[in-house]
Amino acid sequence: MLLVSPGSGRPGPPVGRGVASVASYVVDRQRCRAGHERRPAVARYDSDMTTSLLDEPVPFDPGAPDAADDAVAGPARRERAGRNRRRKRRLVDQPRVPITLELTGFAHGGYAIGRAPDGRVVFASYGIPGERVVAEITGEAPTYLEATVVQVLEASPHRVTAPCRYFGAGYGQQCGGCQLQHIAYPEQLRLKTEVVREQLRRIGKFEDAPVLPMLGQDPPWAYRNHMRFTVRRDGDVGFMQRGTHRFLKIEECAIALPSVNRALAAVQGRTFGTRQLSVRVGEHTEDELVQPTLQWRPGRTRRLRSGQPFLREELLGQHYRVSASAFFQVNTRQAEVLVAYALDRLLERQPNVVVDAYSGVGTFAAQLAAHVDQVITIEAQTAAGDDAEANLGQFKNVTRVVGDVAHVLPGLEPAPDALVIDPPRAGVERAVLEGIIESPTRRVVYVSCEPATLARDLRILVDAGFQLLEVQPVDMFPQTQHIECVAVLDRRDPRIYGRE
């Protein structure tokens, strides 16, 4: 029997307690509640990319029951999801009882899937399909359980040693921002591609969706240009672990750019008067944006500049101004891959008028303007709209509209013959989809950071006469469960294409 600690590729010590079944779990918890044992909660943290749209993980597991499907599925499933949500108990600060699991699948959210002795699906953090593990239950709902792998009995060949000391480090010391550091990168890409395929199958009802292998990053580390930290009263800087009120002091982050880590080191223990700290850097420009304006404790240390109103960054040769509150892709190098891909697929159809909806600071529009007659950007946030004005002012063929896409797009003049849409995680509102369907748009390039809502929206577009040509996942968030995709659709009616 091979024993491996989760989060490392090395053999690890056994958990030291007997392996219990779920049946004995309740009894054991009662015993523990009576004061025999208390263990701290599993650590997680909240960041701009860790909250899930879905209340339940959605499995990539041909054998998993539909009970684990998400809130955008059918009414029966929605009702079941609601029941699970109401009755789900997060077992924070509760004693844990281990069970043995065979992990057979992989779910949206970065969980490996097993089945408990009582038949419930178990979503296990820090596992890999094909492994036999000991896991401790951290949450329970009527139809599923959540667990954390605490010991690996039979390791997957894809298990690797996580380089980050905060990953899978043990209760109360895990950052939780990365979910996949224990999986070799090629396998991460394969599993996340399969999650996209599975979401399209389960939610979008696409039996054999044209999903291409995910485009990875080399190296898949040191990429984040934006981190949000918590600052404690004593000046310590770190993360609040997701789902808990626990603070974890962080000296460095393996997925952050070196310049973000240098900023963190400069601030660590030296500031006061704020609870939040946002550090953004321009990977290509070395510009910095640190918010809020910091106050410093006495001492002779380098004082980081802070309180800048905006950052300057460059993508594919274009310069962008990004205000402190505006959205910008957190992985500059992969953003170039994503934007170049989306642009290629848009321009393939030689459009004249292109709408860039949910346009942010004008990321796509600035790249498109030189290639088409007219670009119309639609963005609701004023700060991003102001940035777009600065970024797009040089292009006389770009019209900017500040407003809600749902109000602006339907009946827009001139009507677009191609669209790029890049909505937030919640996806596209029905009114926007109807606006697209009623427009003469021949091609839609849909950029999405949530495969579940992408699948829902693609089904509506396909049912209304579009054809799904391909879905290209791009790994914007290596080492984490987050998934970005570019979906390409054409209107099926050849009379509208004009040319084939």
Ligand X SMILES: C[S@@+](CC[C@H](N)C(=O)[O-])C[C@H]1O[C@@H](n2cnc3c(N)ncnc32)[C@H](O)[C@@H]1O
The residues of the shown chain that bind ligand X, judged by CB under 6 A, are: 327-329, 358-361, 363-364, 378-381, 384, 404-406, 422, 424
Q: Which is nearer to ligand X, 193 or 359 (by Cβ)?
A: 359
Tokens 């490996």 belong to residue:
112
Give 179 or 391: the residue with its C-beta nearer to ligand X: 391
What DSSP designation does 371 have? Answer: G
DSSP string for residues in 202-266 = HTT--TT--BPPPB--SS-SS-BSEEEEEE-TTS-EEEEPTTS--EEE-S--TTB-HHHHHHHHH
CA–CA gap between residue 195 and residue 452 (Å, rounded): 10
Q: Among all residues, which ones are annotated catalytic?
A: 449
- Report the nearest approach of ligand X to the CB of residue 362 (Å): 8
Q: What is the rounded distance in angstroms from the CA atom of residue 148 to the CA atom of residue 5?
A: 12
- What is the smallest separation between the CB atom of 364 and ligand X, expressed in angstroms? 6
Q: Is the preceding peptide bond at 14 cis, omega within 30 degrees of 0?
A: no
Classify each residue of 460-488 as buried b or exposed e, where b means 16 or more C-beta atoms within 10 Å of its C-beta.
Answer: bbbeeebebeebbbbbbbbbbbbbbbbbb
Tokens 């390791």 correspond to what residue? 155
Q: How far is the CB of 215 from ligand X (least distance, A)?
A: 16
Q: Find tokens 């954390």 and name the residue.
A: 148
Closest distance between ligand X and the C-beta of residue 162, in Å?
A: 29
| Nearest distance in Å: CB 416, ligand X | 15
* N-terminal to C-terminal alpha carbon distance within the chain: 60
Indicate the residue among 149 and 406 with the shorter CB distance to ligand X.
406
C-beta of residue 416 within 8 angstroms of C-beta of residue 439: yes
Q: Give residue 95's Cα distance to chain centre.
A: 30
Report the distance separating Cα 491 and Cα 390, nearest Å: 34
Q: How far is the CB of 81 from ligand X (least distance, A)?
A: 24
Give the Cα separation of 57 and 331 in Å (integer).
25
Beta carbon of residue 399, minimum distance to ligand X (angstroms, whole number):
15
Q: What distances in angstroms separate CA 234 from CA 55, 91, 230, 274, 276, one per listed residue?
A: 35, 29, 12, 11, 13
Nearer to ligand X, 82 or 424 (CB): 424
Which residues, in sequence order, are bridge partners of residue 420?
A: 356, 445
Give, as one character, the DSSP assignment of residue 32.
I
Distance between CA atoms of 393 and 400, rounded to whole angstroms?
Answer: 10
Q: Spell out the residues 6+ positions from residue 242 whose beta carbon is closer than 8 angstroms to its own.
A: 43, 44, 45, 46, 50, 176
**Going along 282-317, which residue ranges are E strands?**
288-291, 295-296, 310-315
CB of 384 to ligand X, least distance (A): 5
CB contact at 8 A, 66 and 74: no
Nearer to ligand X, 140 or 379 (CB): 379
Other beta carbons within 10 angstroms of residue 18's beta carbon come to 9
Q: Which is nearer to ligand X, 25 or 358 (CB)?
A: 358
Q: How far apart are CB 85 and ligand X at their closest, in Å?
A: 25
Nearer Cβ to ligand X, position 15 or 53? 53
Q: Which is nearer to ligand X, 69 or 450 (CB)?
A: 450
Between CA 24 and CA 3 the distance in angstroms is 24
Minimum CB distance to ligand X smaller for 243 or for 423: 423
Report the alpha-carbon distance of residue 194 to residue 189 in Å, rounded.
9
- Taking a C-beta distance cutoff of 8 angstroms, is the pair 181, 35 a contact? no
* Closest residue to ligand X in the complex (CB): 360
Distance CA 204, CA 58 (A): 13
Q: 414 is written with which tokens? A: 């001139």
C-beta of 423: minimal distance to ligand X in Å? Answer: 6
| Nearest residue (CB) to ligand X, 183 versus 376 | 376
CA separation for the pair 226, 145 (Å, rounded):
33
Facing residues of 460 across strands?
none
